[in-house]
A and B are shown apart, each in its own frame.
Chain A
C-alpha cells in the first residue's frame, strides 16, 4: 500500500512541476510584455499613438524631439518583403528537392548543410554582407553606398532560409506515402505528383514555414544593422539605405536617458515589434494546427 502512495505522490510531483514550467514560460512572456508596456507607455502622455505610428520623421534627439516611426516600419517592411521574395521560392524549392527528389545520401548532406547555415551567428552573416555583398551591390548598380535595403534583404534571406527549408521539409515528409503511390499509379510523373499532390497536401505546413521564416527576419537585429545603412528616412526603393525597427532599438538604447521620452519611445517600438511577431507566430501556429488535423 505504501509503495502505491509513494508512486502516486511521485507522479503528482512530476505532473505539477511540468505544469509549473509550462505556466512559467507563459508568465515570462506576459511579464516581458507588461514591462514593455510600462516603460513604453509614458511616451503616449506627450505623444499621440497616431503621431507615433504614422509620423514621418524620427529625430529623437532634436529639440523638440520627433518620434515618428513610419520610416522605421517601412524600413522593416521593405527589408522583410525583399528577404521573403528571395528566400520563400528558393526555400520551398529546396525543401521539395530535399524531401522528394534528392537521393538519400545527397539529402542527408543537404540537411546537414542547412542546419549548419542556421548555426552561423547573425553577426558573421552581417559581416559577410557588409564586406562582400555591400561593395558588390554598390558597383553593380553604381550607387554611392552598398549598404541598402537590398543588401539587407539578401543577407536576411540567408537567415530565413534554414527555418523555411527545415520546417517545409518536415511538412512535405509528413505527407503520407499513399498519396504519392496513388498519383504514380495513375500515371502521373514525379513532378506532377510532387507539385499537384504532395505540395498541395503540405501547403499548410509550408505556409507556417514561410511565416516563421518571416518572423525570424523581422526580429533579426545584428545583421540588418550592419548592412542596411541605418538612415531613418522613408524609403522609396530597394537601392537606398533604410533603418529597421530592431536596428533602431539596438543602436540608440545605449545613448538614451533612462526614463526619458527617447527611452520610452524605444520601448514603444519594442511593443510594436512584439505585436508584429506575435501576429506572425499566431498565423503560423494556425497553419501548423490545420496541417496536423
Chain B
C-alpha cells in the first residue's frame, strides 16, 4: 500500500442550503495521478477546491468532516491558509498566467513567501522552466509578457510557477480543456514526469484523458463518490453499474 497524501473523512460541503458533496471518504495516494471524473455539476471541481480551500472565496460555503494533509486537518481552526496553499499548488482550467513577464510569473511565489534571495532567482526560474520543458523555447524571452505565449506554453508556465514553492500536491482543474489535442498529450506527458515528485489530482471531463494519464480514478455523481479504484479497474470492470454507464457514455 502506498503512502497517503490526502485523507478525506466524512466530508460534506454545502453552498448555502445546497449540499454539493455528501459523505466523501477517500485516500489519495502520494506521487500518483488521481483523476476525478463525473458529469458536470457532480462536485468534482468543488472537491478539488477543498484541498487548497479555494472554496473559502465563495460566500456561504460550509464544510463538515476532515481533510488531512501532512497529518493535519486543514479545516481545523488555526490552520494557516497561506502555507496550505504554498504546499498545495493549483493549475486552472484556462491558462491564467499573470499579465507580467515570464520571469516575474515564476518568481511571484518566491517573492510572496520570501523563499529565496534575489540572487537565487535566476537559477530557480531556469529550473522551473526546465521541469516543464519550456526553457529552450523561452530562455530568450524571459522578459517578454507571458500573454504573448501560445496557450500550451501559458499552461506550462502556470504549472512552472507553482513548482518553486516546492508543493507536495498539484491540483489540476481540467488543465487541458482549453488546449488542442497535441498540446493535451504534451501536458499529460508532463504530468507523468511530474508525478515522480508530486502528488497530482486532476479533474477532467475527458474520460480518455483519465484512462490514459491517471493511476487511480474516482467517479463522482450528484456530490457522492460512487467508486474509487485503480484506473484500469474502473475502466475495465467497474464495480458499480452507474460507473459503467458513465464511462461507456450512456449518460453524462
Contacts and interface: CB of A to CB of B under 8 A. Distances in A.
Interface of A: 176, 178-179, 181-189, 192, 196-197, 200-201
B10 interface: no
A201 B90 contact: no
A197 B165 contact: no
A181 B56 CA distance: 11
9 contacts: A185-B89, A186-B86, A186-B89, A186-B109, A187-B165, A188-B112, A192-B112, A196-B108, A200-B100
A188 B105 CA distance: 13
Interface of B: 52, 54, 57, 81-86, 89-90, 92, 94, 96-100, 108-109, 111-113, 158, 161-162, 165
Nearest to B90: A185
Contacts, number: 66
Contact of B98 (A183, A187, A189): A183
Given A179-B98, A196-B108, A200-B100, A187 B85 contact: yes
- List the 3 closest pairs (A to B, CB-CB), nearest first: A187-B85, A178-B96, A185-B90
A93 to B, nearest CB: 21
A181 B54 contact: yes
A182 B185 CA distance: 24
B94 A196 contact: no
A176 B85 CA distance: 21
Contacts of A185: 52, 54, 85, 89-90, 92
Contacts of B161: 186
B99 A184 contact: no
A77 B11 CA distance: 64
B111 A187 contact: no
Contact of B99 (A186, A188, A192, A201): A201
A187 B111 CA distance: 11
A182 B100 contact: no
